């Protein structure tokens, strides 16, 4: 899966989760600052990501590094292309 495909999928997941238009979501969007996510939103998003991308549970250490949509795309690209 290419980074572009991952980003497109993430846009749709985030849009659905946070009731936004996908076009409002960019790679630079910060989950907390730009998208208004709280800790519950982020937990739900992580569970949706794990399900959508068929991943094992994402570790706390990894989650702490994921501040923007672009961070998630890079993380997922690395995980999926191992």
User: What residues does each domain of the chain span?
Assistant: 3-80
Catalytic site residues? 38
Tell me the whole-structure pTM to 2 decimals.
0.90
> Each residue of 14-63: pLDDT tens digit?
999 999 999 999 999 999 999 999 989 999 999 999 999 999 999 989 98
pLDDT for 56: 92
Contacts (Cβ under 8 Å, ≥6 apart) of 48: 13, 16, 17
Q: Give the whole-angstrom CA distance, residue 34 versus residue 55.
A: 26
CATH of 3-80, one of 1.10.10.10, 1.10.1200.10, 1.10.1740.10, 3.60.20.30: 1.10.1200.10
């Amino acid at each position: 899966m290419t980074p572009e495909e991952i980003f497109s999928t993430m846009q749709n997941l985030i849009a659905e989760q946070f009731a936004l238009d996908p076009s409002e979501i960019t790679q630079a969007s910060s989950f907390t600052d730009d998208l208004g996510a709280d800790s519950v939103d982020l937990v739900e998003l992580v569970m949706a990501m794990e399900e959508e991308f068929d991943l094992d549970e994402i570790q706390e250490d990894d989650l702490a590094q994921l501040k923007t949509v672009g961070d998630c795309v890079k993380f997922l690209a690395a995980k999926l292309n191992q």
